[in-house]
């Protein structure tokens, strides 16, 4: 395959499972309800611009009912030091409804089926339970059990995901061999800049968050695009992140043109130099201010369309990038 610039998009599809330890349903309800409108609109945009997209999906969302969800709970559970991180006491307390029709916050089989009905849309893994790989108290045994249960429920539904996105970008290099043994071939790593490195929630300082916010509008960390993809000794291909697509915020509306310029310049540099650029976000992020978010995304996709015509830039899913794009072997430092 001739090497040309590549534009990768991945979405972290979580619903309430991704924010359960930080927000109440009431405080996030508009986003959770709005995503039912957002996902069909995203799929139409992706079809219009022929975008190949990976949807990293929490395993619980595949379940049709609370009974089915209870049946996929792993034998080994993570014993997080911060008890709020575990969803299992929450499930046992019957805080969720019987099925998707009465509880659109915890179930999404209809949305997953819709995503799968569109061309070039790939279902990936976001673990079964939105598992936190760098938080104190979790273990390799619990992570392996989580992956086993994820595969059990997805295979039952007819899916065999080969890509994985670690929740909250907590990439644990020591777990890559486990992922490979379970049949995964690619994962989304983090940007190279120090401000995007993560070792768990304790190291998510206010200063780092502030620097990442500034980097959204002003080029502090570079274009974050890649000449090659790194393949670990285990055979897992890192398709690293370039930028999180922050949602529209009314108080920052005056900065929107700079946010758009930042991404367009990144993409142009990527296309000109035959590199790879990886944009990601949560579909739930667009559930509030839906029109503004979708309009912003379409401007990005229109720019990509111009770059495709001018430089031959291509749209690739994580799965396609890991199989087709330029790679090099590297050795990871194992973190414990």
Tokens encoding 93: 């307390």
Domain extent, residue 36, equals 6-327
Closest among 36, 42, 53, 7 to 319, alpha carbons compared:
53
> What mean pLDDT, rounded, does the chain reach?
92
Pick from 270, 267, 331: nearest CA to 3: 270
Does 227 map to a domain? yes
Q: What is the DSSP letter of 101?
A: T
Q: What is the pLDDT of residues 85-136, one digit of tens each?
A: 999 999 988 889 999 999 999 999 999 999 999 999 999 999 999 999 999 9
- Say if 192 falls within a structural domain: yes
Identify the CA nearest to 267 among candidates 256, 258, 257, 278: 278
| Domain-located, residue 332 | no
In a domain, 62, yes or no: yes
Rounded Cα–Cα distance for residues 221 and 191 (Å): 9
Task: Please indicate, yes or no, if residue 174 is contained in any of the structural domains.
Answer: yes
Both structure tokens of 86: 């575990």
For 207, other C-beta atoms within 10 Å of its C-beta total 8
Domain presence at residue 335: no
Answer whether residue 333 is part of any domain.
Answer: no
Predicted structure pTM score:
0.93
What pLDDT does residue 328 have? 60
The verdict on residue 334 lying in a domain is no
Band the pLDDT of 1: cuts 50, 70, 90: very low
Q: Check pLDDT > 70 for residue 193.
A: no
CATH number, residue 263: 3.20.20.370
- pLDDT tens for residues 35-91? 999 999 999 999 999 999 999 999 999 999 999 999 999 999 999 999 999 999 999
Q: How many helices (H) and strands (E) does the chain have?
A: 10, 11
Query: Among 197-206, 253-262, 269-278, 293-302, whose mean pLDDT is lowest?
Result: 197-206
Confidence grade of residue 217 (pLDDT, cut at 50, 70, 90)? confident
Tally of domains within the chain: 1
């Amino acid at each position: 395959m001739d090497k040309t610039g590549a534009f990768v998009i991945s979405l972290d599809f979580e619903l309430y499972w991704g924010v359960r330890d930080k927000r109440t349903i009431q405080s996030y309800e508009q986003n959770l309800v709005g995503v039912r409108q957002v996902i069909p609109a995203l799929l139409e945009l992706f079809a219009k611009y022929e975008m190949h997209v990976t949807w990293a999906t929490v395993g619980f969302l595949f379940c049709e009912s609370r009974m089915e969800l209870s049946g996929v709970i792993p034998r080994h559970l993570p014993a997080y030091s911060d008890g709020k991180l575990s969803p299992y006491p929450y499930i046992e307390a019957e805080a969720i409804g019987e099925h998707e029709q009465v509880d659109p916050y915890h179930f999404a089989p209809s949305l997953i089926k819709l995503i799968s009905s569109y061309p070039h849309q790939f279902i990936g893994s976001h673990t079964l339970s939105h598992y936190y790989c760098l938080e104190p108290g979790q273990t390799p045994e619990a992570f392996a059990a989580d992956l086993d249960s994820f595969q059990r429920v997805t295979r039952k539904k007819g899916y065999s995901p080969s890509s994985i996105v670690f929740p909250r970008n907590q990439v644990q290099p020591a777990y890559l061999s486990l992922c490979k043994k379970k049949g995964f071939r690619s994962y989304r790593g983090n940007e190279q800049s120090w401000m995007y490195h993560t070792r768990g929630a304790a190291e998510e300082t206010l200063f780092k968050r502030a620097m990442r916010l500034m980097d959204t509008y002003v080029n502090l960390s570079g274009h974050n695009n890649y000449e090659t993809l790194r393949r670990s000794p285990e055979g897992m291909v890192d398709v690293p992140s370039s930028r999180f697509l922050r949602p529209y915020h009314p108080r920052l509306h005056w900065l929107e043109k700079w946010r758009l310029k930042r991404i367009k310049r990144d993409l142009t540099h990527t296309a000109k130099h035959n590199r790879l650029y990886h944009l990601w976000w949560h579909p739930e992020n667009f559930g509030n201010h839906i029109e503004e978010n979708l309009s912003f995304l379409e401007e990005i996709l229109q720019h990509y369309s111009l770059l495709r015509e001018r430089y031959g830039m291509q749209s690739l899913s994580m799965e396609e990038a890991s199989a087709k794009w330029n790679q090099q072997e590297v050795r990871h430092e194992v973190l414990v």
